[in-house]
Structure 1
């Protein structure tokens, strides 16, 4: 992988906002700040069209973000009223949150994949049902009562960051975006969200990758009440889908631009494969009684000690762990104790779902156990 956003990379290292840049003729990169967030900013892209400008993503709805977006458009020679469209890569607040305000100020149309569009109201308007579902999910996967409530309620704080608007245009996989002067094609890449999309411009050999492929970090892939059953399997498939695109440069939603799409896709896949192995090993160590997703998440290696991880990120860590467990179950490497339900919500009186290693059947020809009992990677080892 080669860093092409030199100024962006320098700003990332210095922990400051990068400058507004003209990436190519007619294409602008506008950083919009995310205060008090480790991602620091989202990169909004402005695509010049004959009668104005179209945006890919928008930032979240705060005064700082709004001012930065307006200022960035001004550097490019436009005003908010010149925005004709907002193409949203996915429904998360830092990408979708300002779309409604831009639409109100400009009359721009908003586009989103239908899989994410169908989740907007439950996520940002009729929110109590989602909070209740999260609370039941926390109980199902072993989060202690004293932490389950705060973890489930953590999303409530993001509601002020979103100005809800329903999209006028639903972009299906492979569909060309109706923007004059651009051959922009929709690439559906579920995983980070059910309806995440990238936008590929084959004539300019550019991939606007949203959160699907980032240069330094891996996007969060978690089992969530609004997610598909096996989001990590979806993510692997989505990585394969973009791996072979003839993209000279990748324009991500965060951090900095880069070249070498196939190399970065390979590194992301390797990261999750290593994570699957780490979690499988922890399940083996848990023995026949198994362990909950919460137990396992607390034992894994994260970027900081568990005690330093804030509630919202603890929930994300548990949901990511659960996504890997669901993938391991699909691979036949783990299962749930007593056939407990691994998805959905806890029923009254139901004990937490616990995971154990799948017993390895004896070889039908040679039934002599030659495995080293000291090898912790042996699925039959109860240690």
Structure 2
């Protein structure tokens, strides 16, 4: 190996900054009993509430990979035979159908091609016709397998105008893209291992007053995924089960880093870096998965592997040069490569190293590119 450190530039889990690593290494106490931990947890809730446009009483942070939050949202809002409008433009959007079915709901699927995004007008028509009886709507904000970002603000407006409850998977966008729960989001789900640059293990939920009311009515009987048990947990100083102090320490540090930079600056940085990466990919003669750059997410770029090349071989070659990039899932498996520019990794230095490694990997694989031109395209794109 020619490198001593490998940059994790997958679309989650991500590279962890030293500040967060140091925060997670602090001496821990007993999070069940120590009043100081409840204060720490509440600090994280307040910063998340400010970032997401809600109140801290509506924020829940629990131990469990973000998939637990997606399942919990369905489990706590769906009764048997409830009809659910499942909006999908990709692999994870489709997956909501399986979750709905597993809890006895009836999924009504509105699917568009993975290379495009959900159209608010077509969604409105679907909700007024095929899904008129649906109580709940599910959707994914950022589809990482295809690198697309749906227009959450406009979609939420349409969905709420039809009187539906909205569940949003924001696992790969929270912290890197502006999200305001007041747009009409009822349960928003985030995860620690994406833009927030922590290890996997925390789920973040932002829950509307309407959703709290429906959660009480549904009265889900499970334990670990029961959102009701987390309501007023800080005020009661009693969590349903033992929390992870190292992860919450890391989360607080991550949110402090975001606040120090300023939310608008964070979002602008992600957009600029993403545009630069897109321009670099195009300079190599590679094709983006999204039909238009406007559909691309600021947190991940997905592009097709050149004909005749193995995605695995390209990834292995890039790793040799110090960049751990990703393949894709579902129908895109084996055909697509992805670069995550999330949080800390949405930076000039990290993306310059990543794109250099990718260019070297392609050259080693027989697909010729000029590294200097690639980096120039990236830097020009960032500054555009």
Normalised by the length of structure 2, the TM-score is 0.32
User: Which has the larger Rg?
Assistant: 1
- The structure where helix makes up a greater share of residues is 2
Normalised by the length of structure 1, the TM-score is 0.32
Larger RCO: 1 or 2 (CA < 8 Å, sep 6+): 2
